[in-house]
Amino acid sequence: MQPISTANIHEYHSTFNSYDGTAMFYRYWLTDKSEHVYDHDDDRDDLKIIVMLHRGHEHSQRLTDMAHAFVKQGYQVFAWDARGNGRSGGERDHAESFGQLVRDLDEFLKAIKAQTHANDEQIVLIASSLGAVIASAYVHDYAPNIRGMILGTPALAIRLYVPFALPALKVAKKLGVMSRVSSYVKAQVLTHDKEAQSQYHADKLISSSISRDLLIDSLQTGARLLDDAGAITTPTMILCAGQDYVVDKEAIRTFYDRIRSPIKRWAYYPKSFHAIFHEVNKQDVFADCLAFTDELFASPPQTVDLTSAHNPTTHAQSFSKDKVDTLMAKGFNPSFAMTKFMIERFGHVSDGVSAGVTHGFDSGVSLDKVYQNEPRGKFGVGKLIDNFYLNNIGWRGIRIRKAHLLELAEIAIDKHLNAHPDKQPIKLLDVASGNGYYAFELLHKYPTLTATLRDYDSHNVSVMKDKAVKQGLSSRATISQQDAFCADSYHSSDNDIAIVSGLFELFSDNTLIQTALSGMHRELSDGGYLLYTNQPWHPEQEFIGKTLNSHQGTDWVMRCRSQAEIDQLVAQAGFKKIDMRIDAFGIFSVSLAIKLPTD
């Protein structure tokens, strides 16, 4: 196509409401009037969409020059003011967690797709600094099938220049002091361009501080992404500035080396400062970015097939297996050996630890203790140990997972009731119920709900039957001992909702997961809903594998599936993911999918 002149670029602005009702401002630049670009009911498979994310402290208008460069070449460009920045709502330069910003991005893309009738494969993310960390976390945690992403000087490791800055910030958080941190960054270290420096200083919408808690979470998210970068297989280009005094260049290169996308590009600008989209050579940077996006759209979307990642044949597929193999092959660690000895010898004084030793730390009995979250133990010290145990980051994540699963289950039930107001009862299937913690809460909340509860463990089945009797739910709960990985245990049925929680994470072999998903697909009616959990990352993966026992009596060795991998398995079985949640630590996700109509 012929390049579009600046005079013919159509600029608009609007707002969307994020999941919590916060009004989010965004701009968009189009190649034509909106009614000619997408204002009709038909899908536009030919649209090429760029979504831009600004630096921390800044706003969307700062990206106008880059937006124009892309619109002139036929792209439609959208850019937001992030929560707490620019003209968007929310407390200034603050979010409840970094994950809140990532969820905002998910909501932004949903709004763009609704507005343009486009799909994920028509979208490329271009993000700068802290915005690039938001983009990376979104791709890692939510696994969208976007065309690709370009990360400009991603702030994966911020240079704070103060010794022990992160520990000091954590202490300040515990003491409730220093709620905001002033930025040391001045325009003179962001760009060599004098005019851009003046514009930066004169811009009243640019802020000069960040909340303490958001800074801590940003640093921790960057570290998590560095640790688990190999889970990213989305086509990626990374831009690195040679004279960057804001972020660690070595961390950026490490991230690039670790991501496993078959399509990735590295661009290094030795004389550039951090704000690479505002530098004197920005036109060269724009041209490099355009070349990459043109390359992506010149061929069909590239997606790495992860459904056989348990038995990988390519480098891109093998990350999760390589990681767990490497962790478990590490040499003798005396602290792990001592911890394992102490758990086995003295764990009985803590109720939670004792349940884990007896039944497996991944068992339904153990999880019941975690959900109850009531420290108990012997000899006084046992209660203290139990409290410490229950507040481990993994168990805190498990309790958040429970809340997320119940939230999405209620959304699924409400969707079903809206679509089928006269269909009663609502039928729920839980294929690995454990002690039935989720199901019994839902049965109490929804009187028209009936549940088929299954578990492999006879002890769990007995516990559920006793609960059903004591809680007066025997007439609405059918409880049986079944193996979720046995194909013969599934039958064609008309269940409305199926749940599989905390099961797939315990088994590395994807053929088992495929069997269970295929069975649940048969058990659900068309348009039925599937709720499934995943554990894409864990900060204590090695520690758990070398100190804790599983319900099978062996070491609890976990292969953390990427969100992309589990989503592909779910899609392969005939479902479409429509929503998800993930905890602020990035450990546990819960997703909601709908069964697509069968031919």
Which residue numbers in the chain have pLDDT < 70?
1-2, 39-43, 599
What is the number of structural domains in the chain?
3
Residue 327 inside a domain? The answer is: no
Residues listed for the chain: 599
Distance CA(582)–CA(404), nearest Å, equals: 8
pLDDT at 1: 53
pLDDT at 587: 98
Half-sphere exposure of 312 (CA within 13 A, CB side): 19
Tokens 């196509």 sit at which residue? 1
**What CATH number does residue 588 fall under?**
3.40.50.150
For 551, residues 6+ apart whose C-beta sits below 8 A from its C-beta are: 359, 360, 362, 363, 457, 506
pLDDT at 552: 86
Query: Is the same domain home to 26 and 93?
Result: yes
Query: Is the same domain home to 375 and 231?
Result: no
Query: Is the same domain home to 341 and 210?
Result: no
pLDDT at 163: 83
Query: Is the same domain home to 351 and 469?
Result: no
pTM score, two decimals?
0.96
H/E segment holding residue 264: strand 264-269
CA distances from 378 to 334, 361, 371 (A): 27, 19, 20
**What CATH number does residue 248 fall under?**
3.40.50.1820
Query: Is the same domain home to 353 and 277?
Result: no
Query: Is the same domain home to 443 and 365?
Result: no
Residue 314 inside a domain? The answer is: no
Query: Is the same domain home to 368 and 423?
Result: no
Query: Is the same domain home to 354 and 272?
Result: no
pLDDT at 2: 60
For 385, the domain range is 334-390
